[in-house]
Structure 1
Amino acid sequence: MNNPSKATGTDVPKSDKQLPEKDQKPRMTTIEKLEAKKLEVSALMIQRAWFIHVDKTIFQLLKHTICAAEQFVAHEILKTVSPIEAKLVKDPSMKCKVRFRFNGETFPPFIVFKIFLHGDGSNNKYFSGKNLLKPSSKAVLDACNIMGKRKFHQQIMEDDRLFQESKIADQIDIVTMQDYLQYSSLMDETPASSGGRNNQWRKLNLRNIPKTMMIYDIVHYAETGAISKRLQEEMKYLLQKPRTVEMRQHQLQIVSEIRYPSFHPVYRPYKQQNKMKHLGRRSKQAQMKVEKMKNAYMTPKEPKASKATTEPQKDTQSTKKQEMIVISTSSLDIVKVKDSTSDSEFEKEEKELFAWYQDLYVDYSSLLDTC
């Protein structure tokens, strides 16, 4: 038997010292490791500082947004959300006020709004169509026609859902005092769109903001991180701390200003009209129409009318070249004559027609001057 200690097997891995110099991996010293860690920590600190700067910028722009929305464009935004409520807010007798706030558990926050009614100390009464309108009355049919069948069915399904959850969703279901308290708390939590008394905060989306305002660019930048060109131009001024009240108002006006796109009409020079070339050949109807216009308007303006009576009238139509195409078969020969016109003749006709139109315009302007 062979001694296992003397066996020279190849399964034993070699250490780094036994490997050749080319295969050995360079080891990092402790100083190099400390420098690498310092660079990594420095990069993380710079990255964190940049994120904090961006978050502060977004928050300051959003703060300008809600202040400008309350002071200047509350009615414009409310018209896109709910036109009926916008009419009520515009009514001076209602004494309504629209407030905008931030909401959300993560950054950046989203904007919410709420309509407040100042009743001057008097109690407000809430009217619900579900309680006032009887099921068998004509008013329910009129409400269905005004709302539309789809929205009417959604309202019915919402009432059924509330009944399944609480079992007391109508005044008919009240039997005891406990039922009344449960019904009252349900009405306080139910939004006004479902017949309740909850004037809750509603979220404002990009669809509810006009795109012509800077508010749209700010909200879009907060949600997606993409900055528009006009916001990039005004950001340096908007991020400045207002020193006076006028500067503060000017910043809010820039944010809420409605900017319409500028259209620059392109005018073609008058001299270039003669240089326009006709694209493609005219149809037979167009050629006949041009000939009729020439015969009706251009013949009376010829200077020498006496010679026109003695001399034979020349044919105004341009001579057309004819091409003969012969197709021969075993039984017969087919002959076809094809008319071909050159582009130079069409250009000549266009120049004559334009000259006639120019003379007619001069005569018409002279008549207006004499009148």
Structure 2
Amino acid sequence: MNIPQPAHAARLGRPRLLIIGCGDTGMHVLERLAGRKRVFALTSSPRRLPELRAAGAIPLLGNLDCPRQLARLRGLAAHVLMLAPPPGQGEGDPRSRRLAAVLRRPASKARVRPAAMGLGRLRIRQAAIVAKPRLGALARGAGAITVVYASTTGVYGDARGRRLSETTPARPASARGRRRVQAEAAWRSAGPARARQARLRLPPWRAVVLRIPGIYGRDRLPLERLRAGLPRLAPGEDVYTNHIEIGDLARALEAALYRGRPQRIVHAADGQDLKMGDYFDAVADAAGLPRPPSLPAAQVRAAVSPAMWSFMQESRRLENRRLAAELRVRLRHPSVRHALGEWYPPES
């Protein structure tokens, strides 16, 4: 006989997840997990608090560049999704370095009886981070602290169209890529040595890095670019790009929380060979828009933004065997053309 529990008791029993940087991708993850987990979402914008609350999260107002606020995240959840990017300048990522250092430390004991260390002792006022550090995951009898870091395939730089696996060394050509490499290293190396872990009674540390290519979705297609008539590279100078549909990315991030191997790198990509110009042409054809003009590289460079041009200078193809074999993710949109065919079905 099942005895219904009070609503607050059901909430208390749910495992906790902390999402740091809850933008578009984070909202897709939140949509999947809000009913099954107690999700905390960190944002630096007060304007986003109602949106996050309406989506089922407990919104936390905090700044990754403020070390005093980061300390209060310790012990809040045994699972963490780090979706926030590095700063826009510099060679490293002090945000990841500081946050990893905070999360790996043992949380101090709360001034409450052990039996009373439930969620009721966690106080969140005005959606700001005010929870006192406590035993966290250890107090709840949880196992490993798992952090999934959302990185980028830009860490490889220009591979001249070669096919890359997760064991291919990173060779970033831009400061943006170098910052990501430093962030990955901060998370993967944050776990203490086994002897020190046992001495301090720390939980095991598991960091999983997802290297993510271009994200697309029904509401994330380059339609405005196509309407503006911006050019594509001529076929002889075009580059290979890689893609993942945002819903599939959310599923990969969720799978990494539970199935990701410690300190492992996984390509969250569909594994398809597709050149950038062919991607623009496919979207244009599906949406009933004119194809972009095909121009030599020098003319394209003069017409597009510096950020866009930097992407047009890197060509690589990604293997995604670990996504299927280790995370056991079966993509619902295995290619861009598959997704476009679903979103823009041909008229009968």
Query: What TM-score, normalized to structure 1?
Result: 0.23
Q: Which has the higher strand share?
A: 2
Greater relative CO (CA pairs within 8 A, separation 6+): 2
* Greater helix content: 1
Higher Rg: 1
What is the TM-score normalised by the length of structure 2?
0.24
